Amino acid sequence: MANNPLETVCVIGLGYIGLPTAAVLAQAGKRVTGVDLQESVVESVNAGRVPFVEEGLETVVAGAVARERLHAQTSTPPANAYIVSVPTPFKEGHTADLGYIESAARSIAPQLTGGELVVLESTSPPGTTEHMADVILSERSDLTAAPGLPTSLYFSHAPERVLPGRIMIEMVDNDRIIGGTTEAASQLTRTLYESFCRGELLLTDARTAEMAKLTENAFRDVNIAFANELSLIADQLKIDVWDLIELANHHPRVNILQPGPGVGGHCIAVDPWFIIDAAPSTSRLIRTARDVNDSKPDAVLQKTLKAAERFKAPRVAALGIAFKANIDDLRQSPSRDIVGRLADSLEDGTVLVSEPNIEQLPMELAGRPNIELVGLDDALEQADIVLLLVDHVQFKNVDPDSLQAKVIIDTRGIWNWARQLSGATPPP
Ligand code: SAJ
């Protein structure tokens, strides 16, 4: 075992994952420095505030800052352990952009003296942890990845698996995969993570850990694609897909997910591409699933435009533009894309957006003459067509009587009663 006390930890990247990780480590008694390039994030954390919405996080951050266990800054300091939690967006052609990981590695390199642990948490293509180690070692030829020497460094991957909205619970309770580039690195990482993680710690190698995280999200993507493809088939065959799935799911070994207007967010719609990019000729099913899910917003758009043909100046109430229910996150949201393209296509029509979790429209939709952000009641009252895009709790309680004369397109299947209304169209 490496001779590392793991008392000081530096977390690089104070976003949705890095900040909660820094907070729970500080709560567990570590001295934590959080590093972020954005001054505004650093200032906010040092004032005990959280720059985004996540249930239960602010109390832990404020407590840790007050007890001087957590501090934020823009530069990388010396530490016993580093956790890299920066974005891995994709570039043109769906290949991963490792630029943020590489610059985090370069900021760590000058601080090292030997014995330190460097953990990559960012979701990454297979081989990225080894690449991060190479970047550090290429700057520090006096240090080594071979374990057991005073000059040894320890590298591993510990992917996060938390669900936004439940991060503070899942970060502590979920099982955690840990993959070191050496067995000694895995063991040292386990010691760090068992300080705050109550779930099982599952040790493997770095590449398998990277692939396991991608596999989890690709599995979900493929299963959602199955539901989305079924919804298109059912529409063609004039069958109600929600009844169909409910019936099929009574089989003890069938568990079909729910169709929707497409797959959004920064994980499920992105991570499968890292597998496809790593093994392009063999990832046939995973690629097709991506294509099926990416084509769903267009199917919803076409169905809405067809319904709009019967109105001279159609008013479409678009309910929800978040990427999923009961959050304010609009990243890679299929509903947001549908709203923009609908407004482009409706020459004399208007799109009335109702999104209870935001106060203003995102930049590309704001200020357009035929898109308005309105309250739910206004949207429903004025609309000819009601297009349900997100299953927010506020929409579940809509009074069926208020929609009697409208065309209804329910992409989430939450309004069972809509299927019996005259003039209502079954969901796509
Ligand atoms: N969706 C459907 N039908 C379904 C389920 C989801 O259309 O039956 C859509 C949602 O509306 C949304 C998208 O899929 O647009 C993704 O939502 P999600 O709830 O499936 O997943 P995320 O992106 O919020 O979080 C996922 C989780 N991964 C898995 O469940 C395998 C989470 O545990 C990961 O930590 C997270 O990705 C991540 O950071 O990778």
pLDDT of residue 258: 97
In this structure, which CATH number among 3.40.50.720, 3.40.50.300, 3.30.465.10, 1.10.10.10 belongs to the domain 216-422? Answer: 3.40.50.720
- Which residue's CA lies nearest to atom 11 of ligand 1? 324
Query: 245 C-alpha to center of ligand 1: Å?
Result: 19
**Does residue 22 have its Cβ closer than 6 Å to ligand 1?**
no
Which tokens sit at 399?
A: 């009074």
- Ligand 1 center–CA 18 separation, angstroms: 19
Separation in Å, CA 263 to CA 259, 267, 334, 368, 406: 9, 10, 6, 25, 27
Q: Is 199's pLDDT higher than 50?
A: yes
DSSP state of 230: H
The first and second tokens of residue 425, run together, are 């169209």
pLDDT of residue 419: 65
Nearest CA to ligand 1 atom 38: 267
* Predicted local confidence at residue 51, as pLDDT: 83
Looking at residue 113, its amino acid is T
Beta bridge partners of 72: 34
What percent of the chain has pLDDT above 90? Answer: 89
Residue 207 · residue 127 · CB < 8 Å:
yes
Give the active site residues.
213, 267
Hunting for tokens 């991506």 — which residue is that? 290
* pLDDT at 1 (0 to 100): 53
Q: Provide mean pLDDT across the span 35-63.
A: 94
217 in contact with ligand 1, CB cutoff 6 A: yes
Instruction: Return the ligand 1 atom nearest residue 264 CA.
Output: 15
Q: What is the rounded average pLDDT of the residues 158-165?
A: 90
Residue range 88-104: mean pLDDT, rounded: 92
Tell me if 267 CB under 6 Å of ligand 1. Answer: yes
Residue 279 in contact with ligand 1 by CB distance below 6 A: no
CATH 3.40.50.720 residue spans of the chain: 8-199, 216-422
Q: What is the pLDDT of residue 92?
A: 84
Whether 161 shows a pLDDT value over 50: the answer reads: yes
Instruction: Give the strand pairing for 385-388 and 176-180.
Output: unpaired
Compute the distance from residue 268 Cα to the ligand 1 centre, in Å: 6
How far apart are alpha carbons 367 and 371 in whole angstroms?
8
Q: Under a CB-based contact definition with an 8 Å cutoff, are residues 303 and 428 in contact?
A: yes
Contact 306, 293 (CB under 8 A): no
Q: Is 216 close to ligand 1, i.e. is its CB under 6 Å away?
A: yes
- CA 297 to chain centroid, in Å, comes to 18
Q: How far apart are CA 127 and CA 134, in angstroms?
A: 11
Tell me which long-range contacts 284-293 makes (C-beta under 8 A, separation of at least 24). 285/222, 286/218, 286/221, 286/222, 288/225, 289/218, 289/221, 289/222, 289/224, 289/225, 289/226, 290/221, 290/225, 292/225, 292/228, 292/229, 293/221, 293/224, 293/225, 293/228, 293/262, 293/263, 293/269
- Whether the pLDDT of residue 420 is over 70: the answer is no
Q: What is the mean pLDDT of residues 87-110?
A: 94
Residue 421 has pLDDT above 60, yes or no: no
Return the structure tokens found at 182.
């050496």
Residue pair 106/135 in contact by the 8 Å Cβ criterion: yes
- pLDDT single digits (tens) 267-302: 999 999 999 999 999 999 999 999 999 999 999 999
Q: Taking 60 as the threshold, does the pLDDT of residue 428 lie above it?
A: no
Dist. CA 188 → ligand 1 center (Å): 31
Q: Are the C-beta atoms of residues 384 and 407 closer than 8 Å to each other?
A: yes
pLDDT tens, position by position, 116-152: 999 999 999 999 999 999 999 999 999 999 999 999 9
pLDDT at 312 over 60: yes
Among 39, 48, 41, residue whose Cα is nearest residue 66? 48
Q: What is the mean pLDDT of residues 184-211?
A: 98
CA geometry: angle 232, 314, 421, nearest 5 deg:
55
Whether 347 shows a pLDDT value over 90: the answer reads: no
pLDDT of residue 422: 40
pLDDT digits (tens, 9 = 90+) for 366-413: 989 999 999 999 999 999 999 999 999 999 999 988 888 899 999 999
Beta bridge partners of 204: 179
The CATH number of domain 8-199, selected from 3.40.50.720, 3.40.50.150, 3.30.360.10, 2.30.110.10: 3.40.50.720
Predicted confidence at residue 423, as pLDDT, reads 43
Query: Which ligand 1 atom is nearest residue 257's CA?
Result: 8
Q: Which two tokens stand for residue 268?
A: 């499920």
26 Cβ neighbours under 8 A, 6+ residues apart: 32, 60, 64, 67, 69, 70
Determine the pLDDT at residue 91: 86
DSSP count for the chain of H helices, then E strands:
14, 13
Instruction: Give the separation between CA 428 and CA 418, rounded to whole angstroms.
Output: 13
